[in-house]
Amino acid sequence: MRRLVCCMAAAASLAALSGCGLDMPGMPDGRGTFLVTVADTSGLFPGSVAGEPFYLDSVEVRLDSRTHMFGAVQTTNEAGVTCFDHLATGSYSVFARREILLGSAKKTFTGSFTALIMGDKTLSDTLVVNLINSSQLMINEIYYMGSCASTFYFYDQFCELYNSSNDTLYLDGCIVTRQLGTIDPEMEQKDYVTAIYAFQFPGTPVTGREYPIYPKQLLAIAQDAVNHSRYCSASIDLTNADWEFFNQLGSDYDNLLVPNLLNIIPNKTTDWMISLGHNAVVIATGEEYTIDSDNHVRLPISTVIDGVEYSANSSSSKELTVRVDAGFAGINLVKYGGQSTERRELGLDTNDSTFDFWNPPYPTPGYYYAH
């Protein structure tokens, strides 16, 4: 690692890299070049100063197209620079990740942005990474694709939560939703998010201490806690799910051995069924919400603990504010393909699901896909 003290030095190193000479990512039709410089300003790296850019070597940088099927991974050099070339015109997501040992603790720094590559232009940009804050409750996995196309079987959907902190947290009164799947042009001006279905853990929000999730615990909430492989051989057994969505107003199945989250919307009889295409799931503290005139639930963003939007198509229009999730999980997933979407790394939450999630080949309720 070498700290560059002036911009001139950085510019010179960028110029030296023009035309790359690094590994080709393999897009023969493309002529664009993208120089990515990765820097930290936290002052946490040995030899760095807080507030000043410190260029990082050995950073894994991922480039994923948002407009066509393409992905490449490269590593920054001693000047903190890496180069992708032979790129086709289009929109790309850039993700950087670097681990260091601080004392005895392994810390992970990440950062991401999107960029537009046009024609044969060379684009240069600097990506500033930030330390992952992993002391929280988060959505770790959403399995929504279903497993049997022949019978349109998707009753095996589940949502998995993870406590990435070192403290026991409590789920009392927490709400888990299916978000309203519409494009709202005024979404970014609103201080709430809107759910079409909402289910709540028992207990008192915020202050309740009856329903723990222990440090590093993964907890699965099943649409229905049954052995789905009896109805679809490619499906999974969810009889051991930790919790179950149960709509007491409908004709929902209730596994009496698995505790329930109950529907909170008047006259709503539907189970927690989420879209197989494009949708979002939010968890909120449950301390405050209102029901609007369309019988939808408005959750103040200040009460949102985590939210994940998923879509097979990375160029979909956002339905969940970028203040909760800037990207999409589940990109390229196929309906009834039996694949799931899960965090790339336990506790990795940058609020950009395009970066935070990948698609393991099968669902892992209550455990993590080792990869």
Q: Which residues bind Ca ion (CB under 5 A)?
A: 141, 160, 224, 244-245, 252, 254-255, 258, 260, 271, 364
The SS3 call for residue 1 is: coil
Residue 201: strand pairing partners: none
Among residues 244 and 356, whose Cβ is nearest to Ca ion? 244
d(CA 108, CA 186) in angstroms, rounded, equals 35
Q: How far is the CB of 184 from Ca ion (least distance, A)?
A: 28
Cβ neighbourhood burial of 32 (10 Å; 0-12, 13-18, 19+): buried
CA distance 4 to 1: 10
In this complex, which beta carbon is closest to Ca ion, that of residue 192 or of residue 245? 245
What is the Cα–Cα distance from 30 to 367, expressed in whole angstroms? 41
> Which residue number is nearest to Ca ion in terms of Cβ?
364
- Nearest distance in Å: CB 142, Ca ion: 10
Only one residue has tokens 């229009």, namely 317
Query: Contact, 56 vs 36, CB < 8 A?
Result: no
What pairing do the DSSP bridges indicate for beta strands 122-131 and 32-40? parallel
- Residues ≥6 apart with Cβ < 8 Å to 66: 90, 91, 92, 93, 114, 314, 315, 354
**Coil, strand, or helix at residue 241?**
coil
* Burial classification of residue 3, based on how many CB atoms lie within 10 Å of its CB (0-12 exposed, 13-18 middle, 19 or more buried): middle
Min CB(368)–Ca ion separation in Å:
5
Q: How far is the CB of 221 from Ca ion (least distance, A)?
A: 10
Q: Which is nearer to Ca ion, 271 or 319 (CB)?
A: 271
Label the pairing between strands 192-200 and 81-87. unpaired
Of 217 and 255, the one with the shorter C-beta distance to Ca ion is 255
Phi, psi at residue 8, to the nearest 5°?
-55, -45
Helix (H, G, I), strand (E, B) or coil at 104: coil
The least distance separating Ca ion from the CB of residue 140, rounded to whole angstroms, comes to 6
Q: Which is nearer to Ca ion, 255 or 275 (CB)?
A: 255
Query: Which C-beta is closer to Ca ion: that of 92 or that of 243?
Result: 243
CB of 343 to Ca ion, least distance (A): 8
Shortest distance, position 239 Cβ to Ca ion, whole Å: 11
Which CB, 102 or 249, lies closer to Ca ion?
A: 249
